[in-house]
Amino acid sequence: MPLPRSEAPITASAHARPLLRVKDLQTTFRVGGNKFVRAVDGVSFDLDPGETVAIVGESGSGKSVTSLSIMGLLPHDSGEVTSGSMRLDGQELRDLNPEAMRRIRGKKISMIFQEPMTSLNPVHTIGRQISEVVIHHEGLSHRAARARAIEMLELVGIPEPTRRVDNYPHQMSGGMRQRAMIAMALSCEPAVLIADEPTTALDVTIQAQMLELMQDLQDRMGMAIIFITHDLGVVAEVADRVVVMYAGEVVESGTVHQIFEAPRMPYTVGLMNSIPRLGTKLPGNRLQTIRGTVPPLSNLPRGCRFHPRCDHATDVCRGTGNHPSLDAAAPGHLVRCARWKDIRFDVEESA
Ligand SMILES: Nc1ncnc2c1ncn2[C@@H]1O[C@H](COP(=O)(O)OP(=O)(O)OP(=O)(O)O)[C@@H](O)[C@H]1O
């Protein structure tokens, strides 16, 4: 059943009113003179309290721009949300002025980045940085804020928190800085945490520890997480629902089971095939990469944006005016592929 693009309610929420509803989000960048590109093009998804939605896709697919749009952190000289809606707890974020948005960031919605130094200030101690967040948002005294900082460092598993609270970021290892950043992001118990590739820069053991830590904190604090990654392998471990993005658009979304057990979009299957540790067997059982590269936003292919890289593409995928809509392949499972009814992928999970 094809859905008109503007009505496609991605990854159907079980709640009457989701915690966060992103609908038809469009974010545009000025790329010189009067030239604009649409880095996020009609993206919709819901996030319910306590759940994890993963946004996946190769570099340049629009994952980070989606999250920066929600956070109100686009570079203000070049990027702008040009249409759509982002409702957090019923409040339209686009209606908020910068000061009101500052009050929400850190308090109701927080973000952690791949590189901790993006959010940690090298010239202040970790304790001071966490304290500033809780003093700003909760009006705690300096003494109470320091106690909260120590408590948060302990919560994220930093040893000797009463000593570490006075460390500067450079006195900590990469893994510990990552933990400190998480402590800072969670210090006001936000309802939503956006984690943008939070484990990519870490070695495998620390990666696993960080994922475990985030899930543990989610269980304790009940926050919802938007987990941004190019790694579908990680998604299988952390997500309840998955949004696959390509060239600024959602190309498939559904529950983690639907995406892993019955993917319908060749791009999603391509991402799966390029992950060694996923344990998914496909014909030939060989590791593959998706041929070609993500197209530049200034020169998108006609028809389906993925067709030049797709082994299943036919004329119907290439034609001007044949831009595929998001169709419901099953309840809560949406796919943007003109041929999804014709293609079957032989995906089985290994033991
Ligand atoms: N400041 C900017 N000015 C112009 N274009 C931008 C800017 N920031 C991002 N873009 C464009 O938006 C597109 C999406 O970028 P985005 O960072 O969201 O991708 P991503 O999927 O998060 O990739 P990565 O995994 O590398 O972070 C890019 O192709 C880029 O061309």
CATH assignment at residue 339: 3.40.50.300
- If you measure from the C-alpha of residue 27 to the centroid of ligand 1, how many angstroms do you get, rounded to a whole number? 11
Same domain, residue pair 197 and 181 = no
Ligand 1 pocket test, candidate residues 63, 78, 199, most atoms within 8 A of CB:
63
Which phi and psi angles does 141 have, rounded to 5°? -70, 165
Report if residue 112 sits inside a domain.
Answer: no
| Residue with CA closest to ligand 1 atom 3 | 29
- If you measure from the C-alpha of residue 29 to the centroid of ligand 1, how many angstroms do you get, rounded to a whole number? 9
pTM for the full model? 0.88
Taking alpha carbons only, the member of 223, 221, 226, 181 closest to residue 201 is 181
- If you measure from the C-alpha of residue 344 to the centroid of ligand 1, how many angstroms do you get, rounded to a whole number? 32
Alpha carbon 223 to its chain centroid, in Å, reads 15
Q: pLDDT > 70: what percent of the chain?
A: 89
Any alpha helices (H) in the chain, and if so which ranges?
A: 63-71, 98-104, 126-138, 142-155, 161-164, 174-186, 204-221, 232-238, 256-261, 266-273, 315-318
Same domain, residue pair 72 and 174 = no
pLDDT band at 276 (very low <50, low <70, confident <90, very high): low
Ligand 1 pocket test, candidate residues 64, 243, 293, most atoms within 8 A of CB:
64
Q: Last residue of some domain: 189, 218, 239?
A: 189
Report if residue 149 sits inside a domain.
Answer: yes
Tokens describing residue 316: 């119907």
- If you measure from the C-alpha of residue 64 to the centroid of ligand 1, how many angstroms do you get, rounded to a whole number? 7
Mean pLDDT, range 267-274, rounded to an integer? 90
Same domain, residue pair 79 and 157 = no
Q: In this structure, which long-range contacts are made by residues 179-182, counting pairs with CB atoms below 8 Å and at least 24 apart in sequence?
A: 179/153, 179/210, 179/213, 180/116, 180/120, 180/126, 180/130, 180/153, 180/156, 181/112, 181/113, 181/116, 181/119, 181/120, 182/112, 182/156, 182/210, 182/213, 182/214, 182/217
The count of other CB atoms within 10 Å of the CB of residue 141 is 10
Same domain, residue pair 72 and 164 = no
ipTM at complex level: 0.94
pLDDT band at 2 (very low <50, low <70, confident <90, very high): very low
Look at residue 347 and tell me whether its pLDDT is greater than 70. Answer: no
pLDDT band at 288 (very low <50, low <70, confident <90, very high): low
Ligand 1 pocket test, candidate residues 27, 29, 40, most atoms within 8 A of CB:
29
pLDDT band at 5 (very low <50, low <70, confident <90, very high): very low
Mean pLDDT, range 163-174, rounded to an integer? 93
Same domain, residue pair 22 and 93 = yes
- Amino acid, res. 140: L
- Across the chain, mean pLDDT equals 87
Pocket of ligand 1 (CB under 6 A): 29, 31, 39, 57, 59-65, 75, 78-79, 230, 297
Mean pLDDT, range 18-28, rounded to an integer? 96
Domain limits at 227? 5-100+191-349
Same domain, residue pair 201 and 306 = yes
Mean pLDDT, range 95-121, rounded to an integer? 87
Same domain, residue pair 147 and 282 = no
Count how many domains the chain has: 2
Which phi and psi angles does 295 have, rounded to 5°? -70, 150
Report if residue 23 sits inside a domain.
Answer: yes
Whole-number Å distance between alpha carbons of 138 and 100: 15
Q: 43-78 pLDDT, tens per residue?
A: 999 999 999 999 999 999 999 999 999 999 998 888
User: Residue 323 in contact with residue 317, Cβ under 8 Å?
Assistant: no
Same domain, residue pair 175 and 291 = no
Q: 186-222 pLDDT, tens per residue?
A: 888 899 999 988 777 667 777 788 788 888 889 888 8
- If you measure from the C-alpha of residue 63 to the centroid of ligand 1, how many angstroms do you get, rounded to a whole number? 8
Look at residue 281 and tell me whether its pLDDT is greater than 70. Answer: no
pLDDT band at 349 (very low <50, low <70, confident <90, very high): very low
Q: Select the more confidently predicted residue: 139 or 115.
A: 139
Same domain, residue pair 271 and 334 = yes
Q: 291-318 pLDDT, tens per residue?
A: 999 999 999 999 999 999 999 999 999 9
Q: Last residue of some domain: 174, 189, 204?
A: 189
Whole-number Å distance between alpha carbons of 314 and 310: 9
